[in-house]
C-alpha cells in the first residue's frame, strides 16, 4: 500500500468524524458497510452544502422516509417541503426522481458499481464514485472540494481549477488502496475538512505532511489555484405578502421549470437586471379589495449561485376572509401551516420582513 494511503488510514482510524450516515472505521475495516440509501441521501444533500447544515435534514428525512421505497412512494410536494431551506432545489427533484427509478427499475436496491450508479438521476462523477466506494467497496477515484485541496497541495500543482480536477482524479486513482477504498475516500474528506483547511492548515497535525510538496515549500495556502470569479450581477424585483384577517397568507406555486421550480412562495414581479423594471406597489400582480392598500416593509437581499437579488417587500393586512386567492395556483396558508410549506430561504426572508414572527413557531 502507498505510504500516503497507509498513514492516512491509520490517522482516520483514530480521528474519523462521527457522522450519522457513517459506519465507524473500525467496523468498516471488518467489512461492515453503511446502508447505501443513507450514503446516497447524505451525498446528495452534501453537494454544495456543509456537514453542519445537512445533519438535521438527513435525520428528518430518515424519520419521515426510513427506507428508499418510502421516499419513492412520497409525493414530490412533501419532499420539497422537507427539503425547504436546504437550497439548490434541483437536488430535491433529482432525489425524488432517483428514488422512483431505483424502486421501479432496480427493485429498491441501488446498483453496486459506479458505472451503473452514474446512470441514475442526479448522480454525477463524484456522487457515483463516493457511493460505489463507501457503500459497496469499489475502488473508485472520489474527488470533492476537500480532496482537490489535499491533492493539489500534496503535488503543489498550479493547474487552475476546474482543469485541475482531472489531475486530482488521476492521483486519487493512483493512491486509493484496493483495501478499504471507502474509508480512504472519507479519510481524505476528513483531512481536508479538519486539518488541510483553506486557511491556516494545521500541518503539524497532518499525517501526510512529509509527503506534501506545498508544505515543504511553505506554499500551502496557494493551492488549489482558482481562476478569478466573475462579479455576480444584481437583479431586482418586488414581493407581495397578502394577509387575511385570520392570519392566513397568500402563497403560490412557482413554475415547474426554472429557478426555485415547484417551490412555494408569495407573488412577485419578475426579477430583472434593468434599473427601469417596475418594483413598486403599482407592480402588484393583482388588485386588493376596496379600502386596503400595499404598505412597504423594506428590502431584502438574497444571493443565488449566479446573481444577487434585491426584493422590495410590500404587505397588505386584514384582508377579508371572503377574498379569494387572486393568483394562479394560489392558496391561503394559515399561520400555523406556514412553517411547513415548501418555502425557499428567499421567500422566508420576504415573509419575515412583513410578518416578523412568521417562523418562530417552530425551530
Name the DSSP letter for residue 340: G
Query: Residue 227: what are its φ and ψ, rounded to 5°?
Result: -70, 150
- Residue 271: CB partners within 8 Å, gap ≥ 6? 235, 236, 237, 309
Cell digits of residue 269? 414581479
- Residue 202: CB partners within 8 Å, gap ≥ 6? 194, 195
Q: Is 43 a catalytic residue?
A: yes
Spatial separation of the C-alpha atoms in residues 171 and 220, rounded to whole Å:
18
Spatial separation of the C-alpha atoms in residues 12 and 30, rounded to whole Å:
15
Asked if 249 and 241 touch (Cβ cutoff 8 Å), the reply is: yes
The residue from 43, 148, 312, 341 that is catalytic is: 43
Identify the residue whose cell numbers are 446512470: 119
What ranges in the chain are assigned the alpha helix state H? 3-15, 25-28, 36-46, 51-64, 68-73, 76-83, 90-105, 114-117, 125-136, 145-155, 164-175, 181-194, 213-217, 345-354
What does the radius of gyration of the chain's CA atoms come to, in whole angstroms? Answer: 24
Spatial separation of the C-alpha atoms in residues 155 and 217, rounded to whole Å:
11
Asked if 208 and 7 touch (Cβ cutoff 8 Å), the reply is: yes
Residues forming the active site: 43
Amino acid at each position: 500500500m502507498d505510504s500516503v494511503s497507509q498513514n492516512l488510514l491509520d490517522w482516520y482510524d483514530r480521528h474519523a468524524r462521527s457522522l450519522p450516515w457513517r459506519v465507524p472505521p473500525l467496523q468498516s475495516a471488518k467489512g461492515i458497510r453503511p446502508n447505501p440509501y443513507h450514503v446516497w441521501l447524505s451525498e446528495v444533500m452534501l453537494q454544495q452544502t456543509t456537514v453542519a447544515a445537512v445533519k438535521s435534514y438527513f435525520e428528518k428525512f430518515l424519520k419521515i422516509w426510513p427506507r428508499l421505497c418510502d421516499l419513492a412512494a412520497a409525493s414530490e410536494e412533501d419532499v420539497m417541503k422537507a427539503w425547504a431551506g436546504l437550497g439548490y432545489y434541483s437536488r430535491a427533484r433529482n432525489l425524488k426522481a432517483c428514488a422512483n427509478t431505483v424502486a421501479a427499475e432496480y427493485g429498491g436496491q441501488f446498483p453496486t458499481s459506479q458505472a451503473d450508479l452514474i446512470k441514475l438521476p442526479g448522480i454525477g462523477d463524484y456522487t457515483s464514485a463516493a457511493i460505489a466506494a463507501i457503500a459497496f467497496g469499489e475502488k473508485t477515484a472520489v474527488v470533492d472540494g476537500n480532496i482537490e485541496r489535499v491533492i493539489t497541495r500534496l503535488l503543489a500543482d498550479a493547474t487552475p481549477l476546474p482543469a485541475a480536477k482531472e489531475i486530482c482524479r488521476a492521483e486519487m486513482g493512483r493512491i486509493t488502496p484496493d483495501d478499504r477504498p471507502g474509508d480512504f475516500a472519507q479519510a481524505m474528506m476528513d483531512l481536508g475538512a479538519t486539518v488541510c483547511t483553506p486557511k491556516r492548515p494545521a500541518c503539524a497535525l497532518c499525517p501526510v505532511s512529509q509527503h506534501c510538496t506545498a508544505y515543504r515549500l511553505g506554499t500551502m495556502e496557494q493551492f488549489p489555484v482558482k481562476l478569478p470569479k466573475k462579479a455576480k450581477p444584481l437583479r431586482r424585483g418586488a414581493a407581495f405578502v397578502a394577509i387575511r384577517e385570520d392570519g392566513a397568507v397568500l402563497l403560490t406555486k412557482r413554475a415547474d421549470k426554472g429557478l426555485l421550480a415547484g417551490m412555494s412562495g408569495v407573488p412577485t414581479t419578475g426579477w430583472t437586471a434593468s434599473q427601469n423594471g417596475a418594483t413598486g406597489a403599482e407592480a402588484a400582480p393583482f388588485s386588493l379589495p376596496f379600502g386596503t392598500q400595499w404598505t412597504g416593509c423594506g428590502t431584502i437581499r438574497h444571493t443565488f449561485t449566479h446573481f444577487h437579488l434585491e426584493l422590495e417587500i410590500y404587505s397588505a393586512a386584514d384582508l377579508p376572509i371572503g377574498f379569494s386567492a387572486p393568483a394562479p395556483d394560489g392558496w391561503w396558508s394559515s399561520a400555523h401551516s406556514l412553517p411547513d410549506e415548501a418555502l425557499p430561504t428567499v421567500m422566508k426572508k420576504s415573509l419575515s420582513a412583513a410578518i416578523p414572527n412568521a417562523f418562530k413557531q417552530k425551530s
